[in-house]
Amino acid sequence: MPSCRPYSRAIARPRSWSASPSILPGILSNVRDAVVKAVTDHSTPSLASLGWTEFFGDQLEPGDANFVPTRIATVHRDRLTGLSQAGPVDLTLPAQANTGDYAVGDWVLVDGHEHLVQRRLTRKTVLERRTQGGRVPQLAAANVDTLFIVTSCNADFNPARLERYLALANEAGTTPVILLTKADTAEDAEAYERQAAALQRGLPVVMLNPRTSDAATVLAAWCGAGQTVALIGSSGVGKSTLVNTLAGSAQQSPQQTGGIREHDSKGRHTTTSRSLHSIAGGGWVIDTPGMRTLQVSDVGYGIDTLFAEITELAPLCKFRDCTHVHEPGCAVQAALKAGTLDPERLARWRKLSDENQNNTPVQSGPRGAKSPGGRGKRR
Ligand SMILES: Nc1nc2c(ncn2[C@@H]2O[C@H](COP(=O)(O)OP(=O)(O)OP(=O)(O)O)[C@@H](O)[C@H]2O)c(=O)[nH]1
Ligand SMILES: [Zn+2]
């Protein structure tokens, strides 16, 4: 049975290069030397500071020796930009390739002269989302270590929607953290904090004001050299403001921020594209456009982790394919009667599991409990 990801993973640093099994000594030692050099002298950004780890180094092949590892920094409709040790670069896509095939945070190998993308490396994590009516999931970000799920202490706070984001983060293999903004405008901000913490076991919840520099300090544990965080949440909750605060004064083109309609706390969708921003104290942050609806599909593992209290009861039911509705000997119904299981959580689990099952083409196991992929599907 899957368990919640340990909180300590959120502050794990990239593993040491010396641990890498070197199957391609020539290429790997070149890259390793460059990393070691740049870590020790701070004149050029190191690959490690851009988020490169042995996970990507292990994918290099003999023919890749002349290509430059480059991280995708922005994805536009018709072009891509990247970041390499040499700095920012406009990338050329191979014929027939589509910018939609790439996500901000992807690692690609690039020809050093033409800046032509040769190959995308397999992703360690990938955040994808499906909007209502959208047939194919959109790539939101790749190779993200921590997902900051941002919500305000006002009408935006919605446990069912936060659970959708959590299922997405768990499935992607990223560590979720809830950020509560606008506590300064709420009468009882602690009540929001308690509700948020109850959404998933061991879930870190941080209350902050994105407009103050303290916000960067309280988030430092998840940032730092080589770490990549992404922000997700409705429009107007303060994501762009937080990007600007994390990026500090060195940022070249600040994210535009907007006001919100006060009567319903809805934002105006100021952010329209995604990009990788450097964090002042080290690391990278990816902002994603706010969205009102988020459909789930193929997140069986994410749902199991999110609703661990239900996942753990299911094997105790009399029938293996118990739907936990009417069957005799149902451990979930028994917990409900005993008052140890929150009926609202069960109702939300049922709704999300049903939606997941309906949207997931191939499925095995009862109620989408077993997704074919599971955590860290790598593509
Ligand atoms: N009082 C208060 N205002 C805040 C706080 N966080 C953000 N704001 C304000 O809320 C407004 C919306 O913030 P944005 O950063 O534009 O929101 P966003 O999430 O990026 O919105 P989109 O770009 O539309 O996705 C701005 O005027 C911010 O200054 C907070 O904690 N307290
Ligand atoms: Zn049952």
User: Is residue 182 a known part of a binding site?
Assistant: yes
Structural domains present in the chain: 17-120 (2.40.50.140), 126-287 (3.40.50.300), 300-368 (1.10.40.50)
* Cβ pair 246, 274 in contact under 8 A: no
Token pair belonging to 234: 């409705």
pLDDT band at 227 (very low <50, low <70, confident <90, very high): very high
Question: Residues 42-85: pLDDT tens digits?
Answer: 457 899 999 999 999 999 999 999 999 999 999 988 889 999 99
Question: Residues 112-151: pLDDT tens digits?
Answer: 899 999 999 999 999 887 766 666 778 889 999 999 999 9
- The structure's pTM equals 0.81
Please tell me whether residue 302 adopts helix, strand or coil conformation: helix
User: Is residue 4 a known part of a binding site?
Assistant: no
* Cβ pair 302, 170 in contact under 8 A: yes
Rg (CA), the chain: 22
Q: Is 166 exposed, middle or buried (0-12, 13-18, 19+ CB in 10 A)?
A: buried
Residue of the nearest CA to atom 11 in ligand 1? Answer: 259
* Cβ pair 76, 273 in contact under 8 A: yes
* Cβ pair 81, 88 in contact under 8 A: yes
Cβ atoms within 10 Å of 320's Cβ, excluding its own: 9
278 to each of 144, 345, 357, how far by Cα in Å? Answer: 14, 38, 38
Q: Is 34 exposed, middle or buried (0-12, 13-18, 19+ CB in 10 A)?
A: middle
* Cβ pair 368, 356 in contact under 8 A: yes
Q: What's the 152 CA to ligand 1 centre distance in angstroms?
A: 9
User: Is residue 326 a known part of a binding site?
Assistant: no
> What are the pocket residues of ligand 1 if the criterion is a CB atom closer than 6 Å to any ligand atom?
181-182, 184-185, 209-211, 235-241, 257-260, 267-271, 289-290
